């Protein structure tokens, strides 16, 4: 197999020989298919703009055209964000925050309008000059993560220019058939629009693992490679290609034996998938008889059918954020009640944990009035926002309690950090129960109430919290980030994001111990719950429920049915005593390689 790193001379496109190209693995998976090249038309808009003068009487018309383009772009971004929220995890839609900041930036808009009127130039030229100044400034930042945000600015700028000209953007949401997309770059909005039915994979010349397009690809489970230098000029529409998103390899014009090798890999994956589907009725029970509940994380009421398909034993996390975002008003009690009732009735007696609002007020700007925080991650979000604006939470509480009449609903509060917050939440809950009773409305008066343990302070006072709630759910994504002060999407520090870090395991262990002393149970609803590598440690520490993407349930069920609680507890003890995250993880990996090698191979493929 011929290999190229992109620096060699261009191959003769008429000679279709196999060539291997290396890039940066951005999203895992394997795809074999036909290439579709995407033209870079939106990026050339800036280059093609010619500056010509206008008459003073044309100024108002140009400014009006510019504002119309801004309004249309804002509507398009709202539609994109809604699309991502309803088809992926709701937090993935946060990548469009930067887009909204641009179209709502009054200083930027005033600068463009001022340029039109003072320089007497067309709106496209004034906007292009202004935006190129901003893009150049961001592109010059030494931090690669921040530098990647220039792509967001370019994405919005190109969209605004396209709307100014009345141009159509590439139709990536309706591909002519199964295709591997090859482009110099895919913007976040390009990626969000990809035809999920027909896109097999994509490879781009620009981008990194922390680019928003790469983040979206991982959520959409689309194999992807980025950083493929000078790749587009080596490929033609209709070429055959293999994309290996695990290794960051693109194989152009693969030979028969290469295709057969990758088809065998895909065949093993499909075989295991079908086997796991046949096991959905089996209990998730260890060989020595300990039952671990496997629940599903659900993004919206339209995803309920996956729970039965993959054999989940309930909903461990029902996210409600999608009900609140990108709308001029807050959702009403009746609107929420109908959705939660749908969840309750669909579960056929299985439990569903509904998490109360877990957003910052900046995401509810249309309903609450816009404001900006320097660090929303540590700001007014989740129950902090709800305690400041209790009517939002009380409406949601009423809807959840009323829906509890139709099934086994549990209510969970996110981001609790201290007893004072929990006491205020429980007081509000008592007020809501009293109001419902006085109004003669049916509701579940004995509904289980839980809190998420995702802030280190909550884990440290778990003993106190446990005395006032019915269960804990550990949100490992935030717990790891808050404990280790690591942004996992920042490539410069992402290697420090380690769920088996001794500090993180200590907090999980303390939480479980406190729960057991107070007679309540503990679940985990973060990403590690669906990652085979961490399961022996988690259940060995005493976690009773694992809530994950429905697609992961089969793998974890197979794993649990092949290990013993006795072994898991020994592994957890060793992991707690380990000095490093790597050492702790190694104990689990060594054990799993003996017990369920097929599950590990699928995870590491």
C-alpha to C-alpha distance for 84 and 78, rounded to whole angstroms: 10
The domain ranges of the chain are: 2-39+173-259, 45-165, 279-287+462-605
Q: Residues 99, 113, 122, 525: which is the catalytic one? A: 525
Whether residue 339 is predicted with pLDDT greater than 70 in this model: the reply is yes
Instruction: Find, among 523, 515, 479, the residue nearest to 316 by Cα.
Output: 523
The tens digit of pLDDT for each residue in 361-402 reads 555 555 565 555 666 678 888 899 999 999 999 999 999 999
Q: Residues 42, 99, 212, 293: which is the catalytic one? A: 212
Pick the CATH number of 279-287+462-605 from 3.40.440.10, 3.40.50.2300, 3.90.230.10, 3.20.20.60: 3.20.20.60
2-39+173-259 maps to which CATH number? 3.50.30.10
CB proximity list for 369: less than 8 A, separation 6 or greater: none
Instruction: Find, among 117, 111, 118, 123, the residue nearest to 59 by Cα.
Output: 117
Whether residue 42 is predicted with pLDDT greater than 80 in this model: the reply is no
CB proximity list for 119: less than 8 A, separation 6 or greater: 126
Instruction: Find, among 284, 281, 280, the residue nearest to 561 by Cα.
Output: 284
Q: What is the mean pLDDT of the chain?
A: 87
The tens digit of pLDDT for each residue in 284-332 reads 999 999 999 999 998 777 778 888 889 999 999 999 987 887 577 899 9
User: Helix, strand, or coil here: 326?
Assistant: coil
C-alpha to C-alpha distance for 84 and 220, rounded to whole angstroms: 9
C-alpha to C-alpha distance for 93 and 81, rounded to whole angstroms: 5
554 exposure class (CB count in 10 Å sphere: 0-12, 13-18, 19+): buried
- 525 is a catalytic site residue: yes
Residue 605: band (very low, low, confident or very high) from pLDDT cuts 50, 70, 90: very low
C-alpha to C-alpha distance for 458 and 435, rounded to whole angstroms: 30
Matching residue, tokens 């957890």: 572
Q: Cβ of 227: how many Cβ atoms within 10 Å?
A: 21
> What average pLDDT does the segment 23-48 reach?
78
What is the topology classification, in CATH, of domain 45-165? Enzyme I; Chain A, domain 2 (1.10.274)
Distances from the Cα of 289 to the Cα of 136, 462, 492, 533, angstroms: 62, 28, 44, 21
- Asked if the domains at 2-39+173-259 and 45-165 fall in one CATH topology, the answer is no
The tens digit of pLDDT for each residue in 502-527 reads 999 999 999 999 999 999 999 999 88
The tens digit of pLDDT for each residue in 218-227 reads 777 889 999 8
Instruction: Find, among 509, 520, 545, the residue nearest to 530 by Cα.
Output: 545
User: Helix, strand, or coil here: 2?
Assistant: strand
Residue 12 pLDDT: 56
Residue 7 pLDDT: 45
Residue 11: band (very low, low, confident or very high) from pLDDT cuts 50, 70, 90: low
C-alpha to C-alpha distance for 374 and 482, rounded to whole angstroms: 17
Instruction: Find, among 569, 111, 333, the residue nearest to 119 by Cα.
Output: 111
Residue 87: band (very low, low, confident or very high) from pLDDT cuts 50, 70, 90: low
């Amino acid at each position: 197999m011929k290999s190229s790193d992109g620096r060699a001379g261009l191959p003769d496109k008429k000679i279709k020989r196999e060539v291997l190209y290396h890039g940066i693995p951005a999203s895992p998976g394997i795809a074999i298919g036909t290439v579709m090249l995407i033209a870079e038309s939106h990026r050339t808009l800036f280059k093609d703009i010619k500056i010509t003068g206008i008459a003073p009487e044309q100024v108002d018309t140009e400014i009006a055209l510019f504002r119309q383009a801004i309004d249309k772009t804002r509507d398009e971004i709202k539609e994109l964000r809604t699309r991502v929220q309803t088809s992926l995890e709701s937090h993935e839609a946060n990548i469009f925050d930067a887009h909204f900041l641009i179209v709502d930036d009054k200083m930027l808009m005033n600068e463009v309008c001022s340029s039109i009127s003072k320089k007497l130039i067309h709106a496209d030229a004034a906007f292009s000059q202004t935006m190129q100044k901003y893009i150049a400034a961001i592109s010059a930042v030494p931090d690669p993560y921040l530098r990647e945000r220039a792509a967001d600015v370019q994405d919005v700028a190109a969209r605004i220019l396209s709307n100014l000209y009345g141009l159509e953007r590439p139709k990536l949401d309706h591909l002519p058939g199964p295709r591997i997309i090859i482009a110099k770059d895919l913007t976040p909005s390009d990626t969000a629009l990809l035809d999920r039915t027909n896109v097999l994979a994509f490879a781009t010349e620009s981008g990194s693992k922390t680019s928003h397009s790469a983040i979206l690809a991982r959520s959409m489970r689309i194999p992807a490679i980025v950083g493929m230098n000078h790749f587009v000029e080596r490929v033609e529409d209709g070429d055959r290609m293999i994309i290996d998103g695990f290794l960051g390899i693109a194989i152009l014009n693969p030979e028969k034996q290469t295709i057969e090798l990758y088809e065998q890999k895909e065949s093993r994956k499909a075989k295991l998938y079908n086997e796991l589907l046949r096991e959905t009725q089996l209990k998730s029970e260890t060989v020595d008889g300990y039952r671990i509940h496997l629940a599903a994380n659900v993004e919206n009421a339209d995803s309920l059918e996956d729970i039965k398909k993959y054999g989940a034993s309930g909903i461990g996390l029902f996210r409600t954020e999608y009900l609140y975002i990108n709308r001029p008003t807050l959702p009403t009690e009746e609107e929420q009640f109908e959705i939660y009732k749908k969840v309750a009735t669909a579960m056929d007696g299985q439990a569903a944990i509904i998490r109360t609002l877990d957003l910052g007020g900046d995401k509810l700007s249309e309903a609450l009035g816009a404001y900006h925080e320097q660090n929303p991650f540590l700001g007014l979000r989740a129950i902090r926002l709800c305690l400041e604006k209790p009517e939002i939470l009380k409406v949601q509480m009423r809807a959840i309690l009323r829906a509890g009449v139709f099934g086994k609903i549990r209510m969970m509060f996110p981001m609790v950090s201290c007893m004072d917050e929990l006491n205020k939440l429980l007081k509000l809950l008592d007020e809501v129960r009293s109001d419902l009773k006085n109004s003669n409305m049916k509701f579940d008066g004995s509904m289980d109430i839980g809190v998420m343990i995702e802030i280190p302070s909550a884990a440290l006072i778990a003993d106190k919290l446990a005395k006032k709630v019915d269960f804990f759910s550990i949100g490992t994504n935030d717990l790891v980030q808050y404990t280790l002060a690591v942004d996992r999407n920042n490539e410069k520090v992402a290697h420090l994001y380690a769920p088996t870090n001794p500090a993180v395991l200590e907090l999980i262990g303390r939480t479980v111990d406190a729960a057991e002393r107070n007679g309540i149970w503990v679940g985990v609803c973060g990403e590690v719950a669906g990652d085979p590598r961490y399961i022996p440690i988690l259940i060995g520490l005493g976690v009773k429920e694992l809530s994950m993407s429905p697609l992961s349930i089969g793998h974890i069920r197979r794993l649990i049915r092949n290990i013993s609680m006795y072994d898991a507890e020994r592994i957890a003890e060793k992991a707690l005593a380990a000095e490093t995250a790597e050492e702790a993880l190694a104990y689990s990996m060594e054990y799993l390689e003996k017990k369920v090698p097929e599950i590990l191979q699928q995870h590491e493929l």
